[in-house]
Chain A
């Protein structure tokens, strides 16, 4: 597995980017943070479109920038695919020629991705002979992704590729991104300030704030972290888990999901057994019961948990970071905290009232 090692210090008049990264490059790494936190600037530094005076960047064994040696490879010499916020297709070429532009410029023996494959994954076969200005925004962005993939990149950078699209087009495009990633195994760095995209796509998250990295780690670690709560507001905080579909119970209309030795029951899903899906559990949907998990309750999903940390949120509420073999967050009232006498290290039961599956996450 390649690691990405980066150091940038880029002073602007009103903003300074100071970043140190040492990240494993597999799956989708999201650069997450509010507007103006430096996500796009960092991505442009990784691509070589901005040059930090004392920058250093290494991808696997390949050195891309080392200012002590006055080395900075231009973008066209780096095996990078770049999907910009706007599609940036070439207006004088049709869809096919746009797709082939990069493909014909790499040596034949380095082509790992075939045109048919990309056309199939992105569903653009009937667009091939169209002119660019005849395409919708979503179609243009799909062609832009295809064009980047056809350079067989070792790393794909995506700068809020869904930002300029309406909600319907976003939903249309997200499955394509998941699919090409699953089928082509290219590590992706994905810039976004939309929490729903992080929930659906990210395997790892790098948190940015005011031009600095304030945290980095696996998606469920980061989502349940203190820093993340500070950025995302209270609504969306929770935990995500990649779970396995264990079986379908047609009698009660339930699907059983398994992860870390736990079972979760959700309304029956049209997903094949053994397939992996991602679930999201909002912190406000988790409540705490002190005592044995055998106590009768109407809630189906009750998990044994240990309280790891108690976080002050405001006058009336606190967050509990729980360990269920993976991190989970529960939002409870301060009054309940005191009444139940909850302490770090205590063993409790977490009752989960609602579980959102991947496909529902966009709402």
Chain B
């Protein structure tokens, strides 16, 4: 087992940047969506829920194919940006947002459902506006849901492969992430190097999860 090469390290950096940006985007977009799903009585709810859950069951190649078309120079998203987003880092973030969506939305939705409307009404009765009540009452009570959403979203993006390969190609320094790096090493029979990168990803993922579970245990949220 050798050391990580510069190429591997740049792939690690791309992976971390990608996962961070994906999770941040999903928290901003996903919070209102999850709130809506948790409290709406609209008949559109099951349709939206099914759409959000699609990436769990779809083969990544299906999602990757359509995203590639959409992000390409003649696709709707590509045309919106007036250039091809395929094989760029931005395109990769957009693809990952779709791919990791259920892993962020679903824990948030369950958390909001568990919190219910009662604390919100109480906060309103104490002069807190809607936004104020959300940030000072709802989100602290739903903290566990947020931690799950962040961990799952981050880990899932770190581990994605099929969509990344389809949409991003594997351009070193731009769209080559750890998972595709492993694939490249295996392709050219560099098994020792593939092992190094795989083991790093394994240990990294484990440590992140461990840290989260330890802090979660140490600072439990009291909901009586």
In the assembled complex, how far is the CB of residue A139 from the closest CB belonging to chain B, in whole angstroms? 12
| Chain A residue at minimum C-beta to C-beta distance from B126 | A102
**B129 within 8 Å of A by Cβ?**
yes
Which chain A residues border B121 with CB–CB below 8 Å? Answer: 49, 75, 82, 84, 88
| Chain A residue at minimum C-beta to C-beta distance from B223 | A91
A157-B57 Cα distance, complex, nearest whole Å: 50
Which chain A residues border B122 with CB–CB below 8 Å? Answer: 82, 84, 88-90
**B41 within 8 Å of A by Cβ?**
no
In the assembled complex, how far is the CB of residue B203 from the closest CB belonging to chain A, in whole angstroms? 34
Are B125 and A47 in touch, CB under 8 angstroms?
yes
Which chain B residues border A80 with CB–CB below 8 Å? Answer: 125
Tell me which of B128, B129, B132, B224 contacts A133 (CB under 8 A).
B224
| Chain A residue at minimum C-beta to C-beta distance from B136 | A101
Are A101 and B118 in touch, CB under 8 angstroms?
no
**A182 within 8 Å of B by Cβ?**
no
A74-B127 Cα distance, complex, nearest whole Å: 10
Most chain A CB within a 10 A radius of its CB, from B123, B143, B221: B123
Tell me which of B118, B133, B222 contacts A131 (CB under 8 A).
B222
In the assembled complex, how far is the CB of residue B131 from the closest CB belonging to chain A, in whole angstroms? 11
**B204 within 8 Å of A by Cβ?**
no
Number of interface residues of A (CB under 8 A): 25
Are A133 and B125 in touch, CB under 8 angstroms?
no
Are B137 and A90 in touch, CB under 8 angstroms?
yes
Instruction: List residues of B (64-120) whose CB comes within 8 Å of A's CBs.
Output: 118-119
Are B127 and A106 in touch, CB under 8 angstroms?
yes
- Interchain residue pairs with CB less than 8 A apart (7): A76-B130, A84-B122, A90-B119, A101-B123, A147-B126, A148-B125, A151-B126
Are B127 and A88 in touch, CB under 8 angstroms?
no
Which chain B residues border A86 with CB–CB below 8 Å? Answer: 118
**B32 within 8 Å of A by Cβ?**
no
Are A148 and B126 in touch, CB under 8 angstroms?
yes
- Interface residue SS majority, chain B: helix
Which chain B residues border A28 with CB–CB below 8 Å? Answer: none
**A138 within 8 Å of B by Cβ?**
no
Q: Which 4 A-B pairs have the closest CB atoms?
A: A133-B224, A102-B126, A82-B125, A105-B127
In the assembled complex, how far is the CB of residue B97 from the closest CB belonging to chain A, in whole angstroms? 29
Interface string of A59-80 (1 = CB under 8 A from B): 0000000000000001110001
| Chain A residue at minimum C-beta to C-beta distance from B221 | A92
Are B141 and A101 in touch, CB under 8 angstroms?
no
- Known: A86-B118, A90-B141. Contact between A132 and B127, CB under 8 A? no
Are A81 and B128 in touch, CB under 8 angstroms?
no
In the assembled complex, how far is the CB of residue B213 from the closest CB belonging to chain A, in whole angstroms? 20
**B124 within 8 Å of A by Cβ?**
yes
Which chain B residues border A47 with CB–CB below 8 Å? Answer: 125
Are B127 and A151 in touch, CB under 8 angstroms?
yes
**B172 within 8 Å of A by Cβ?**
no
- Known: A84-B118, A91-B141. Contact between A75 and B125, CB under 8 A? yes
Which chain B residues border A92 with CB–CB below 8 Å? Answer: 140-141, 143, 221-222
18 additional A-B pairs beyond A76-B133, A88-B119, beta carbons within 8 Å, are: A75-B121, A75-B125, A76-B124, A76-B129, A82-B122, A82-B125, A84-B122, A90-B140, A91-B141, A91-B224, A92-B141, A92-B143, A92-B221, A101-B128, A132-B222, A148-B126, A151-B125, A151-B126
In the assembled complex, how far is the CB of residue B49 from the closest CB belonging to chain A, in whole angstroms? 25
A101-B128 Cα distance, complex, nearest whole Å: 9
In the assembled complex, how far is the CB of residue A137 from the closest CB belonging to chain B, in whole angstroms? 11
